Amino acid sequence: HGFYDNLVALGQNAWSWVQGKGQALGLWWDSARGVLDEFRANPWAFIKSKLGPAWDRLTWFESNALTFYSNLWSRYASDLSGFLADPAGWMYDRLESYIERIW
């Protein structure tokens, strides 16, 4: 009888654990669904509300630093493509132009 009682207690404990985890998973899913619904309703406002004061720093970085590097890249894109196409020829042309400028 003792072995059977131990098995019953073990089964009840396991079932209680499964029910507890199921309830926790249900609560998590309800909160996740709420967040997803809020994001779906208005992604812009959701992201801005989550970032808070960091939003101003992020927009400053985007408008200043990223624009600077984008302009820098576009200005030298033809030079870079020429170098990648023929590195030795590109360096020779630059050296030749430099020598002509100083003479």
Domain that holds residue 6: 1-51
Residue 96 clears pLDDT 70, i.e. is over it: yes
* Same domain, residue pair 5 and 36: yes
Number of domains in the chain: 2
Which pLDDT value is given to residue 54?
A: 85
C-alpha 91/C-alpha 93 separation (Å) is: 5
* Same domain, residue pair 61 and 82: yes
Could you tell me if 23 and 16 are in contact, meaning their C-beta atoms sit under 8 angstroms apart? no
* Same domain, residue pair 31 and 76: no
Could you tell me if 28 and 35 are in contact, meaning their C-beta atoms sit under 8 angstroms apart? no
* Same domain, residue pair 26 and 60: no
* Same domain, residue pair 44 and 7: yes
**Choice between 11 and 69, residue whose per-residue pLDDT is larger:** 11
Could you tell me if 38 and 46 are in contact, meaning their C-beta atoms sit under 8 angstroms apart? yes
* Same domain, residue pair 4 and 31: yes
pLDDT tens digit sequence for 37-90? 999 999 888 888 888 888 888 888 877 777 777 777 776 777 777 888 888 888
* Same domain, residue pair 62 and 88: yes
Q: pTM score, two decimals? A: 0.41
Which pLDDT value is given to residue 75?
A: 66
| Dihedral angle over CA of 66, 67, 68, 72, nearest 10 | 100
| Residue 100 pLDDT level (bands cut at 50, 70, 90) | very high
DSSP 21-82: HHHHHHHHHHHHHHHHHHHHH-HHHHHHHHHTTHHHHHHHHIIIIIHHHHHHHHHSHHHHHH
